[in-house]
Amino acid sequence: MHTPLMPPDWAPPIGYANGIAAGPGQLVFIAGQVGWDAQQQFHSEELAPQFAQALDNILAVLAQAGGGPEHICRITAFCIDRPAYLAQRKDLGRIWRERMGKHFPAMSMIFVADLLDHPAKIELEATAVVPWPEPRGT
Please give the full DSSP string across 49-95, using - where no structure is assigned.
Answer: HHHHHHHHHHHHHHHTTT--GGGEEEEEEEES-HHHHHHTHHHHHHH
Residues ≥6 apart with Cβ < 8 Å to 120:
34, 35, 36, 42, 50, 80
For the chain, what is the mean pLDDT? 94
All domains of the chain, ordered by start, with CATH?
22-130 (3.30.1330.40)
pTM, full prediction: 0.90
Percentage, residues of the chain above pLDDT 70: 98
Percentage, residues of the chain above pLDDT 90: 80
pLDDT at 104: 95
pLDDT at 138: 55
pLDDT at 137 over 80: no
pLDDT at 14: 87
Please give the average per-residue pLDDT across 83-102, as a whole number: 98
pLDDT at 1 over 60: yes
